[in-house]
Amino acid sequence: MTTRRGLRLDVYRTAQHAGTGISSDHDQLTLVGIIRRTNTGSRPEELPIQCLVWTPTIDAPAVWLVATPRTLWLIPAGNLLTGELDARNRWVAGGALAGLADRRFTDLVQGRDAVRVHDQLHTPTPQQPRGGAR
């Protein structure tokens, strides 16, 4: 198994930070890949070769950049074995951002300085049938 390499990002916590997830336990994260989402599905991509610098560590765990046509966010990579997103689960923002003052990063994120970290896992509960029990 090949260890992924990537860019080391700094974590910035906002006043609304939930205090849970990887962004509460770590001051740095390691961006290891991109998941491009479109209307037809999602596909994982390697980072450009100039971004393959750092190996994820216990102190800087791996994250994926999720890119849609309209927005960008980061999600923990430890729960994604294949790079595919689980349609039943939804990652939501916990009030932290991660970024890097380096052109390699800003080129990946369309000129932004930081991107929201979606490290709160929200699993919807099954819908109850309408009309109540009979």
- Residues in a beta bridge with 30: 8, 62
Q: What is the pLDDT of residue 40?
A: 78
**pLDDT tens for each residue of the chain, 134 residues long:** 457 899 999 999 988 887 888 899 999 999 999 988 877 777 788 999 999 999 999 999 999 999 988 899 999 886 444 444 555 567 888 899 999 999 999 999 999 999 999 988 776 666 656 655 55
3-state secondary structure labels for all residues of the chain: CCCCCEEEEEEEECCCCCCCCHHHHCCEEEEEEEEEEECCEEEEECCCHHHCCECCCCCCCEEEEEECCCCEEEEECCCCCCCCCCCCCEEECCCEEEECCCHHHHHHCCCCCEEEECCEEECCCCCCCCCCCC
In angstroms, what CA-CA distances link 74 with 50, 127, 128?
20, 28, 32
Q: What is the pLDDT of residue 97?
A: 95
Rg (CA), the chain: 16
pTM: 0.81
Tokens standing for 8?
A: 């080391």
Q: What is the pLDDT of residue 81?
A: 43
Ordered by start, the domain boundaries in the chain are 7-122
